Amino acid sequence: MIYDLALENGTVCNGEELFPANVYIRDEVIELITGRKMKFQARQSLDCSGLYLLPGFIDPHVHFDLFLGKYTSRDDFDSGSALALSGGVTTVIDFLDPVRTLEKLKEAVQRRMRSSRTSRVDYAFHVTLAGNPEFTPRAIADAAINLGMPSIKVFTTYSGSGRRTNDGTLLELLALSRSKGLVVLAHAENDEIILARERELRRDREPTHRDLPHLRPVITELSEVVKLIQLSKSVDGQLYVVHVSSGDTVEAVSLMNTEWKNNSVLETCPQYLMLNDEALDDESGFLNTYCPPARSERERRLLVRGLLEGNIGSIGTDHCPFTTQDKRESFSSIPFGTGSLGLSFPVLNTLFDGDLVKVASLLSINPARLLGLYPERGTIVPGRTADIAVVNRERSYNYSRSPLTRSDHSLFEGMSLRGEVVATVMRGRLAFHENRVLLEAGSGRFIERKRVLWGDRSAAE
Ligand SMILES: [Zn+2]
């Protein structure tokens, strides 16, 4: 038998252990894993000596082609998915536009399906609620499951633009989540505190980007996350808190008890792990604007500690980049968001000092398990989808912006990182190698996800 692709002489990390092996792929699937000495014929082979094979990374939180009132995030499915491949990411999960009615949900699906046609990686979507829906929680839960999108995003803030969902609806959704097999994703910030702070400041002057940490202080996140986790626990729900930004939040959660992990998972992003609020004061501080905002250095360090201690269950990038020109706006029009897609691997490899089992858990297995992609994805086992990131865990370098993004800057420019993606295999095809993206636009497919049932250990370990 001749295989399509062979990855030879490398070390496989399946998320639980590391072992030397050759991996043989045929028809989009991992067919065979052998010891290094046993070799088979393949049409194409890659010598992975000195390199590691990890399950293709899953970025569960990206915003391609997102229209934000005045501006649209600069990476669409074409450029964004190329950038993904360069970072070993083989699956992304984006979001449907926020909706309040089932009619609008249909339109939102059509819109995203159209815009994702150019994707080079496989993709899935989270359903997003706008405020308090005009349908019952049960109806939206069923609709989401039928769409193959068993995860629903809600906001606890942004009442100004009608996106805030009240606690009553949220609790109902959480109460349904386990029996229906879906996950409730929450953007958690306390709306009232943010509104009060802004009202107060506006008595004196127009806010600027420098006021962001004051307008959205840590307590807005901490108080909301703690509450949501208690809500989820009270109904045995499945809660996934997106983009947790502050170490104090993680610490407060970790002090609750160990059982919180049965019903809740915290996600954080490369920007919160690597950047702090000092850059807001620079001349180019307006570029450092995302929500929740950058936190103090103390908070950042505490967040890293929370990650190392196992209290973060998933890493998403919240990739939503704009250009310098877009960002040069008055405070009320700044498009919030930044670009970090592709950075999850080097950032985690740096922070975990090359511990690839931890890295693979956070970037592949956990998101796969938590969001309904497992066991087809998220691991390296015969019979599973051949999504693989081939990495060098030793190489250190100073990061410079990828030419693949359509943004013109990166907040990570010049940062010292360790770990590099050398090649990416997407559904059995060599998709990125020697700094070149080898898959054409449109190679990706929509993934219909299954119902999700979290096990006892949820996955935050
Ligand atoms: Zn987001």
- Structural domain span for residue 321: 1-461
pTM > 0.95: yes
**How far, in Å, from the CA of 94 to the mean position of ligand 1?**
9
The kind and range of the H/E element at 111 are helix 102-115
Tallying the residues shown for the chain, one arrives at 461
Crossing angle of the two packed helices 297-308 and 344-351, in degrees rounded to 10:
80
Q: What is the CATH number of the domain that holds 305?
A: 3.20.20.140
- Give the strand order in the sheet containing 89-95: 57-59, 89-95, 122-128, 151-155, 183-187, 239-241, 264-268, 314-315
CB of 190 within 8 A of CB of 157? Answer: yes
Q: How far apart are CA 187 and CA 288, in angstroms?
A: 19
**How far, in Å, from the CA of 407 to the mean position of ligand 1?**
17
**How far, in Å, from the CA of 242 to the mean position of ligand 1?**
7
**How far, in Å, from the CA of 153 to the mean position of ligand 1?**
10
**How far, in Å, from the CA of 229 to the mean position of ligand 1?**
19
**How far, in Å, from the CA of 68 to the mean position of ligand 1?**
12
Domains identified in the chain, total number: 1
**How far, in Å, from the CA of 378 to the mean position of ligand 1?**
22
179 Cβ contact partners less than 8 Å away, ≥ 6 residues apart: none
Q: How far apart are CA 423 and CA 285, in angstroms?
A: 34
Per-residue confidence in pLDDT tens, the chain, 461 aa = 899 999 999 999 988 899 999 999 999 999 999 999 999 999 999 999 999 999 999 999 999 999 988 899 999 999 999 999 999 999 999 999 999 999 999 999 999 999 999 999 999 999 999 988 888 999 999 999 999 999 999 999 998 888 999 999 999 999 999 999 999 999 999 999 999 999 999 999 999 999 999 999 999 999 999 999 999 999 999 999 999 999 999 999 999 988 999 999 999 999 999 999 999 999 999 999 999 999 999 999 999 999 999 999 999 999 999 999 999 999 989 999 999 999 999 999 999 999 999 999 999 999 999 999 999 999 999 999 999 999 999 999 999 999 999 999 999 999 999 999 999 999 999 999 999 999 999 999 999 999 999 984 444 43
Q: Residue 159 is encoded by which pair of tokens?
A: 């009442």
**How far, in Å, from the CA of 346 to the mean position of ligand 1?**
21
Of 88, 4, 15, 73, which Cα lies nearest the Cα of 40? 4
Q: How far apart are CA 86 and CA 99, in angstroms?
A: 33
**How far, in Å, from the CA of 422 to the mean position of ligand 1?**
28
Query: Side chain identity at 194, as an amino acid letter?
Result: I
**How far, in Å, from the CA of 297 to the mean position of ligand 1?**
22
